[in-house]
Amino acid sequence: GNDSTNENVHNYFVQTLARGGLTHLIAVISLNILIIAYWKNKYKNYKILQYMFPLLLVASFDPALETVRYPFIYYTFLGYFLKTGIEAESNTKGDQ
């Protein structure tokens, strides 16, 4: 906060609720759900969860998303995958 106490509860979702209230928490959760829904509609699978779930799990026990770098990398990474997809199989597998 602005009181310079630098307090952090080490949980992204609780911290979001504490700093922005219920409206902000719902907005953050909705953003992640919309990313998953967009992926499902575009690629007809839930493979994006294999990348999102571990990162959000880490954010639930560490203040990672409270920094500047982690969210930038996380959302850039998700944007890249939403645009390009995830290769289901290795390119060398078809060469055998």
End-to-end CA distance of the chain: give it in Å, rounded: 57
- Lowest-pLDDT range of 3-7, 18-22, 26-30, 58-62: 3-7
Residue type, 93: K
Query: Are the C-beta atoms of residues 82 and 52 closer than 8 Å to each other?
Result: no
Handedness of CA 88, 46, 31, 12 (dihedral sign): negative
Percent of the chain surpassing pLDDT 90: 33
Mean pLDDT of 72-85: 89
